[in-house]
C-alpha cells in the first residue's frame, strides 16, 4: 500500500479515490473570531431562499426551547432517568438533517431530542416519551435515550457509546442491497471515536462502499473527560484517512457550514454510494446530563464558547442580511415557546402506559406452546 494521501493519489487511481479527496486542514473552528464567523456565514447564505433559512432558524430555536423546557421538567421530577441536553449543538443536527429526504435514515446516540425533532417527529411525541407516557414515540418504553419513529426514518436513540455506528452501517448496507438511493446519517460524539465499533464500521463502510455519513459531533468532552485527556490523535477527521474515507472538518457552530458539508457528503453517498466522515466541531453549553456537577471545565471556558452560540450567530446573520427582522424572529420565538408549552401540556395530560404493556413487544413472533416459558 502506497503511503500517498488520497489527495496525491496517482491519476489512474484518482477517479476511484476522488471521494477521499476532501480533507480540509482548517484551524479548529473554536479559534475563529466571532466577526470572522459572521462574515463566513453571510457568504454561505447566498443562494439559499428565505423560506429555507427561516425554517432552519425555527428548528434550531425549537430545539433550544424544547431542551430548556426539558431541563425545567426534569428538575420538577416530571422526567426521570438520564437526560442529555443538546443546547449549544443545535446547528449540527439541524444543519445536517435539513439536507436529507424523509425516506433517508438517521441514527444517533442518547443525546437525541434534536435529531428526533429535526427528522420530523412532533414535539408532542418526543416530550411525551420523556414523560414516560403511552403517547410517546416509543410508547414510554424507551425514554430520553431510546426514541424511534419508523414513519420518518428515525432509527434511535442508542445508549451504549458507539453502539449506533455498526447499526447505521447496516442500515446503509440494506439500502445498497435493496438498490435504493437512500442515505443514512449516523451521529455520535467524539468519545465514541475511541470505541472499536467506530473503527470496525468505517472499515466495512469503505470496503463495501456503503452510503453512510458518519457525523462526529466533537463537543470536546466525553462526559467529564476532555478530548485532550482521551485521544492520542486529536484531529478526528484524519481518522477517515486510515480507512480511505472522505473526511472533513466542519464548523459546528454555523448551521450553514454543517449544511454545506453534509450536502457534499450526501451527494457522494447517494450518487456514488460512498461513506464520509465529518468531524463537526461544536460545544455543549450544559452538563453531560442533568446530573453533571460540571467541575471539569471553567465558567470562563463555557462563556467563551457561548459567545459562539449558533443561534446568536444565525440570528445576527438573518437580521444583518435583512433576511428577517428582529421583530419577525421574536414572533417566531413566541410561536416556538407556545409549541413547546403545548407539548408539555400534551405530555402531562397523556396517560401512563397500560400495565399490560410491560409484557408486550418482547417478541414479534409469540410462541406456539402456551406452557412454554420465556
Partner 1 sequence: MAVITIREALNQALREELQRDKNVFLMGEEVAAYQGAYKVTKGLLEEFGPKRVIDTPITELGFAGLGVGAAMVGLRPIVEFMTWNFSILATDQIINSAAKMLYMSGGQFKIPMVFRGPGGSAFQVSSQHSQALESWYAYFPGLKVVMPSTPADAKGLLKSAIRDDDPVIFIEQERMYGQKGEVPDDEDFLIPLGVADVKRAGTDATIVARSLMVPLALKAAEELEKQGVSCEVIDPRTIRPLDIGTIIKSVKKTNRVVVAEESHPFCGVAGEISAEINERAFDYLDAPVRRVSGADVPMPYAKNLENLAIPGVEQIIAAVREVAYL
Which residues make up the interface to partner 1 (CB under 8 A)? 105, 107, 136-142, 146, 148-150, 155-160, 163, 165-175, 177-178, 196-197, 200-201, 203-204, 207, 360-365, 367-369, 371-374
Minimum CB distance to partner 1, residue 226 (Å): 25
Q: Which is nearer to partner 1, 140 or 247 (CB)?
A: 140
Q: Which is nearer to partner 1, 157 or 310 (CB)?
A: 157
DSSP states along 128-171? HHHTT-TTSTTTTSSGGG---BGGGTEEEE--STTTHHHHHHHH
Minimum CB distance to partner 1, residue 162 (Å): 9
Q: Which is nearer to partner 1, 145 or 286 (CB)?
A: 145
End-to-end C-alpha distance for the chain, whole angstroms: 52
CB 23 within 8 A of CB 245: no
Instruction: Please give the angle made by the CA atoms of 282, 250 and 6, to the nearest 5 degrees.
Output: 140
Provide the grid cell at 93. 443536527
Minimum CB distance to partner 1, residue 202 (Å): 9
Phi, psi of 325 (to 5 degrees): -90, 160
Q: Which is nearer to partner 1, 22 or 165 (CB)?
A: 165
Q: Distance from CA of residue 287 to its chain's centroid? A: 17
Minimum CB distance to partner 1, residue 277 (Å): 15
Distances (CA, A) of 77 to 130, 154, 290: 11, 27, 12
Minimum CB distance to partner 1, residue 148 (Å): 4
Q: Which is nearer to partner 1, 7 or 360 (CB)?
A: 360
Q: Which is nearer to partner 1, 12 or 178 (CB)?
A: 178
Minimum CB distance to partner 1, residue 168 (Å): 6
Q: Give the H or E element holding residue 96.
A: helix 90-97
Q: Which is nearer to partner 1, 26 or 361 (CB)?
A: 361
* 26 contact partners, CB below 8 Å, separation of at least 6: 249
CB 148 within 8 A of CB 154: yes
Distances (CA, A) of 126 to 163, 170, 367: 21, 25, 33
Let me know if 300 is exposed, middle or buried by CB neighbors in 10 A (0-12, 13-18, 19+): exposed
Q: Which is nearer to partner 1, 58 or 208 (CB)?
A: 208
Minimum CB distance to partner 1, residue 208 (Å): 8
CB 63 within 8 A of CB 86: yes
DSSP states along 340-360? HHHHHHHHHHSPPPPGGGGGS
Minimum CB distance to partner 1, residue 130 (Å): 14
Q: Which is nearer to partner 1, 86 or 148 (CB)?
A: 148
Minimum CB distance to partner 1, residue 160 (Å): 5
Amino acid at each position: 500500500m502506497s503511503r500517498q494521501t488520497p489527495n496525491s493519489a496517482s491519476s489512474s487511481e484518482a477517479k476511484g479515490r476522488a471521494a477521499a479527496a476532501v480533507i480540509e486542514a482548517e484551524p479548529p473552528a473554536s479559534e475563529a473570531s466571532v466577526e470572522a464567523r459572521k462574515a463566513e456565514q453571510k457568504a454561505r447564505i447566498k443562494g439559499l431562499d428565505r423560506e429555507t433559512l427561516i425554517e432552519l432558524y425555527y428548528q434550531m430555536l425549537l430545539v433550544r426551547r424544547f431542551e430548556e423546557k426539558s431541563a425545567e421538567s426534569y428538575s420538577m421530577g416530571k422526567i426521570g432517568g438520564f437526560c442529555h441536553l443538546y443546547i449549544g449543538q443545535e446547528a449540527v443536527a439541524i444543519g445536517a438533517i435539513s439536507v436529507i429526504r424523509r425516506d433517508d435514515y438517521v441514527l444517533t446516540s442518547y443525546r437525541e431530542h434534536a435529531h428526533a425533532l429535526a427528522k420530523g417527529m412532533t414535539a408532542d411525541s418526543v416530550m411525551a416519551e420523556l414523560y414516560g407516557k403511552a403517547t410517546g414515540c416509543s410508547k414510554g418504553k424507551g425514554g430520553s435515550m431510546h426514541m424511534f419513529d419508523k414513519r420518518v426514518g428515525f432509527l434511535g436513540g442508542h445508549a451504549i457509546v458507539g453502539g449506533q455506528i455498526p447499526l447505521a452501517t447496516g442500515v446503509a448496507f440494506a439500502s445498497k442491497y435493496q438498490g435504493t438511493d437512500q442515505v443514512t446519517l449516523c451521529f455520535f460524539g467524539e468519545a465514541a471515536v475511541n470505541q472499536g465499533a467506530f473503527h470496525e464500521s468505517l472499515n466495512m463502510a469503505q470496503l463495501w462502499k456503503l452510503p453512510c455519513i458518519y457525523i462526529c459531533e466533537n463537543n470536546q468532552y466525553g462526559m467529564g473527560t476532555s478530548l485532550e485527556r482521551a485521544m492520542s490523535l486529536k484531529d478526528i477527521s484524519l481518522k477517515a484517512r486510515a480507512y480511505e474515507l472522505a473526511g472533513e472538518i466542519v464548523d459546528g457552530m454555523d448551521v450553514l457550514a454543517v449544511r454545506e458539508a453534509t450536502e457534499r457528503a450526501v451527494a457522494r453517498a447517494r450518487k456514488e454510494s460512498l461513506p464520509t466522515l465529518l468531524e463537526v466541531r461544536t460545544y455543549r453549553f450544559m452538563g453531560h446530563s442533568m446530573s453533571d456537577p460540571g467541575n471539569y471545565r471553567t465558567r470562563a471556558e463555557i462563556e467563551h464558547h457561548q459567545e459562539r452560540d449558533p443561534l446568536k450567530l444565525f440570528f445576527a446573520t438573518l437580521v444583518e442580511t435583512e433576511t428577517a427582522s428582529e421583530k419577525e424572529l421574536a414572533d417566531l420565538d413566541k410561536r416556538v415557546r407556545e409549541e413547546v408549552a403545548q407539548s408539555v401540556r400534551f405530555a402531562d395530560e397523556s396517560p401512563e402506559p397500560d400495565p399490560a404493556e410491560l409484557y408486550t413487544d418482547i417478541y414479534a413472533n409469540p410462541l406456539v406452546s402456551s406452557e412454554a416459558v420465556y
